[in-house]
Structure 1
Amino acid sequence: MRLVQLTVPTGKRQTILETLDDREIDYVVTDEDGNRDYAAVAYFPLPSPAVEPVLDELQDAGVDEDAYTVVVDAETVVSRRFEALREEYEEGDVESDRISRQELRTEAESLTPTFGVYSIMTIISSVVATAGLLLDSPAVVVGSMVIAPLIGPALGASVGSVIDEEELFVESITYQIIGVILAIAAAAVFAWMVRVTNIVPPGLVLGEVDEISERLAPDLLSLAVALGAGVAGIVSIATGISVALVGVMIAAALIPPAAAAGIAIAWGQPDAAIGSTVLVFVNVLSVNLAGLLTLWYLGYRPENLFALGETEQRVRKRVVGLVVIVLIFSAFLGVITYTSYQAGNFEENAREEVALALSEDEFAEYQLLELEVIMDDDYPFQSPERVVVTIGGPPGETAPGLGSDLRDRIEHHSDGPIEVEIRYIAIFEE
């Protein structure tokens, strides 16, 4: 529910009040003595879905942009006419639950802090995320997402596109580009300082840190996070629901990958930063694409109907452009996913071959204790480099021919040269 406070221009009082009466809207009018351009101030409650069409109709009746209109939340309205309005406008779906175009623009602007605050909070968020990745701490990484001020710019570009506010669009795009650059740069500088001061072990291997390695070689599933965040962000802002948690989700798609890219750069492995950098950009584009499509689906259009055709054409071009770029990046992620799939198949095949070899009668006394596939450092397209097979058997004995048999079987499933290491552990029977 909303309470609208509307300044009534001189000479338009009767027309505006007749419009409200025709709509059967309850209102209260007070005379205005502070400005001779306005004769009165009208107060009237509206269901949220009614704000946009009623304000548009009042604008057609003579309320121009120079007059100010204040729309605030109303906790309770007791009125039979209000209930009739609610039944007229509220249809129980997302489209009827959305806030007005005027409120949407204000909400999008309010979610974007000043440039100084935005820059500082982005840098802090990136530094915290970098620390969390190096500590291999999911809790710290999640904490970095909470303080990231990314939801405003991420959704503001979509809002500016559909309501024909190019200034908001340009500002949001600029914020996003600068935010990504700041996040990666801050992560790189902080990670470099941590490395040269030996705060982390000098021999730290990035691939051995789970929180880092999973972002250096991302797969297609990462797109689901960005697309889901974009849709959820727009639905939450358009329906007036709290966007705090959705902001965390958008930050989850952007901040940790940016921090991982910065860490890879600080470790002198720019090739390793390719995958996470691509993930950052594809997630940014996916959030914008999902937001744009969702807003258009919800029925948001520019205030000036004469600009509808031009805006629709502009939105269509931007959607097509975003789709093409996202598909190109998705193909890159698809190759990474396929490479990971092949590595998984190789490990499964190697495990099956070891089990088949040990099932033979001559090796009946031996059993597989562990099989580990170690990947190379060629990020983001990693492949198996070494296989360590740990075999348990009688003490003081090694099975003749077992090692060479296992090597032949495992190498058969590898597309390239691979090192196979066989380890024996004595098992004493009680």
Structure 2
Amino acid sequence: MLHLRLITPPEKTGDVVRLIEGTVGTTHLVVLPGAARDPAGDVVLCDVAREAGDELLSGLQDLDIDGCGSIAVENIDLSLSQRADEAEAEAPGESADAVLWEHLTDATHEESTLSVTYLAFITLATMIAACGVVLDNAILIVGAMAVGPEFGPLAGICTAVVQRAPRLALRSLVALLAGFAVAMAVTVGFSHFMDAVGLFSEAKLEGDRPNTGFIYAPDWFSFVVAILAGAAGTLSLTSAKSGALVGVAISVTTVPAAANAAVALSYGDTRQTWGSSEQLLLNLLAILLAGTLTLLVQKGLWSKQRERLRKTG
């Protein structure tokens, strides 16, 4: 269930209440006349089944409540109410399949912002991966994958394409490209430093690396895994199962490939630099393709679901 807290101008409260009452899957409606001070207006509270949430939010936006008032949405972790159980049963579909497009757009917008924190995470992840490729240490590679924040901008681009949001697409693309550019540049300097203190060496990079050699040798398996991971990651975002993102992060070799390219570049090894760059681009493109197709399928299915919801109402 979702909990909505609305601030509405008095002249629109009646329309809002009628919309909520006419939406299948809503309950626990409360109206507090004149309770809001900034902005001034009435406070309307209600709970709605997740599968009916997108329909209700769209209706509220059509009433311009987001412009002249406020719309706040929270997930309800626990609701002990027979009426809530009945509301969820009335709403067609399953809550796990529901997509809140406004929430997805807002979440990906935040995750795809080029901030100091984002740059710090992707740079640290790339440097950790650099240690992993030189030492041929799979544990460090997995750790670097988990730390890397690059799925946020990738999801932002996919969402922007499906929702036709050019600003989100540009913001996400800038964060993705600038993030990897800064991370790789810093890692080149980090590699020179580690070589100067005797912790990195060209012999280690060029030696037999059974655990990490795949990073600069892209193949069809890399593409297939990235496709599957992109679909899984997108589903985890739309269904609010964020725990699955950890598995997605350690399934694709974006950050390790960037790290290997940076280390190889510091030693002038064009073969590994090019191979790692191919691996990086292959993974990024596969994730973008899978994520966009997954969202398009979900949008198509959810359009049918919303039509059923209207007919039910």
Q: TM-score range by the shorter chain?
A: 0.7 to 0.9
Partner Cα separation in structure 1 for residue 198 and residue 57 of structure 2:
62
Q: Relative to structure 1, is the Cα distance of residues 249 and 143 closer, same or farther in structure 2, using a 3 angstrom cutoff?
A: closer
Alignment of 1:44 with 2:46, yes or no, is yes
Alignment of 1:248 with 2:249, yes or no, is yes
* Counterpart residue type for residue 45 of structure 1: D
SS in structure 1 at match of 2:228:
helix
Partner Cα separation in structure 2 for residue 246 and residue 71 of structure 1:
28
Aligned residues: 299
Please name the residue that 1:216 is paired with.
216
Higher RCO (C-alpha under 8 Å, 6+ residues apart) = 2
Partner Cα separation in structure 2 for residue 240 and residue 13 of structure 1:
30
Alignment of 1:60 with 2:36, yes or no, is no
Partner Cα separation in structure 1 for residue 144 and residue 15 of structure 2:
54
Q: Relative to structure 1, is the Cα distance of residues 295 and 259 closer, same or farther in structure 2, using a 3 angstrom cutoff?
A: same
Cα deviation, residue 126, structure 1: 0.8
Cα deviation, residue 189, structure 1: 2.3
* Counterpart residue type for residue 257 of structure 2: P
Q: Relative to structure 1, is the Cα distance of residues 37 and 71 closer, same or farther in structure 2, using a 3 angstrom cutoff?
A: closer
Partner Cα separation in structure 2 for residue 6 and residue 142 of structure 1:
43
Please name the residue that 1:310 is paired with.
none
Q: Deviations over 1:76-100 (max 9, x none)?
A: 3344543343223342486xx2331
Trace 1:93-108 onto structure 2 (pairs within 5 A).
97-108=97-108
Cα deviation, residue 234, structure 1: 0.7
Trace 1:26-425 onto structure 2 (pairs within 5 A).
26=27, 27-35=29-37, 38-61=40-63, 63-92=65-94, 97-112=97-112, 115-200=115-200, 203-204=203-204, 206-243=206-243, 244-246=245-247, 248-249=249-250, 252-299=252-299
Q: Relative to structure 1, is the Cα distance of residues 215 and 10 closer, same or farther in structure 2, using a 3 angstrom cutoff?
A: same
SS in structure 2 at match of 1:218:
coil
CA contact (8 A) 1:5 1:44 kept: yes
Please name the residue that 1:313 is paired with.
none
Cα deviation, residue 263, structure 1: 1.9
Q: Deviations over 1:363-387 (max 9, x none)?
A: xxxxxxxxxxxxxxxxxxxxxxxxx
CA contact (8 A) 2:129 2:141 kept: yes
Q: Relative to structure 1, is the Cα distance of residues 246 and 112 closer, same or farther in structure 2, using a 3 angstrom cutoff?
A: farther
Cα deviation, residue 264, structure 1: 1.5
Query: TM-score w.r.t. structure 1 length?
Result: 0.64
Cα deviation, residue 70, structure 1: 0.6
* Counterpart residue type for residue 249 of structure 1: I
SS in structure 2 at match of 1:7:
strand
CA contact (8 A) 1:150 1:247 kept: no
Partner Cα separation in structure 2 for residue 77 and residue 212 of structure 1:
48
SS in structure 1 at match of 2:65:
coil
CA contact (8 A) 1:183 1:255 kept: no
Partner Cα separation in structure 1 for residue 204 and residue 41 of structure 2:
73
CA contact (8 A) 2:135 2:204 kept: no
Q: Deviations over 1:40-80 (max 9, x none)?
A: 11111111111110122233345353421110011233445
Q: Which piece of structure 1 moves more, 66-75 or 15-24?
A: 15-24
Give the structure with the higher percent helix. 2
* Counterpart residue type for residue 188 of structure 1: V
CA contact (8 A) 2:230 2:248 kept: no
* Counterpart residue type for residue 246 of structure 2: L
Cα deviation, residue 198, structure 1: 2.9
Cα deviation, residue 131, structure 1: 0.6
* Counterpart residue type for residue 184 of structure 2: I
* Counterpart residue type for residue 7 of structure 1: I
SS in structure 1 at match of 2:154:
helix
Structure whose CA Rg is larger: 1
SS in structure 1 at match of 2:5:
strand
Over the residues paired in the alignment, what is the CA RMSD in angstroms? 2.6
Please name the residue that 1:397 is paired with.
none
Partner Cα separation in structure 2 for residue 300 and residue 249 of structure 1:
29
Partner Cα separation in structure 2 for residue 200 and residue 20 of structure 1:
63
Cα deviation, residue 258, structure 1: 0.9
* Counterpart residue type for residue 278 of structure 1: E
Partner Cα separation in structure 2 for residue 128 and residue 62 of structure 1:
48
Partner Cα separation in structure 2 for residue 186 and residue 240 of structure 1:
34
Alignment of 1:16 with 2:16, yes or no, is yes
Please name the residue that 2:309 is paired with.
none
Partner Cα separation in structure 1 for residue 39 and residue 142 of structure 2:
53
Q: Relative to structure 1, is the Cα distance of residues 145 and 136 closer, same or farther in structure 2, using a 3 angstrom cutoff?
A: same
Cα deviation, residue 209, structure 1: 2.3
CA contact (8 A) 1:185 1:262 kept: yes
Cα deviation, residue 254, structure 1: 0.4
**Identical positions, percent:** 22
Partner Cα separation in structure 2 for residue 88 and residue 103 of structure 1:
23
Partner Cα separation in structure 1 for residue 64 and residue 209 of structure 2:
64
Q: Deviations over 1:391-429 (max 9, x none)?
A: xxxxxxxxxxxxxxxxxxxxxxxxxxxxxxxxxxxxxxx
Partner Cα separation in structure 2 for residue 78 and residue 261 of structure 1:
54
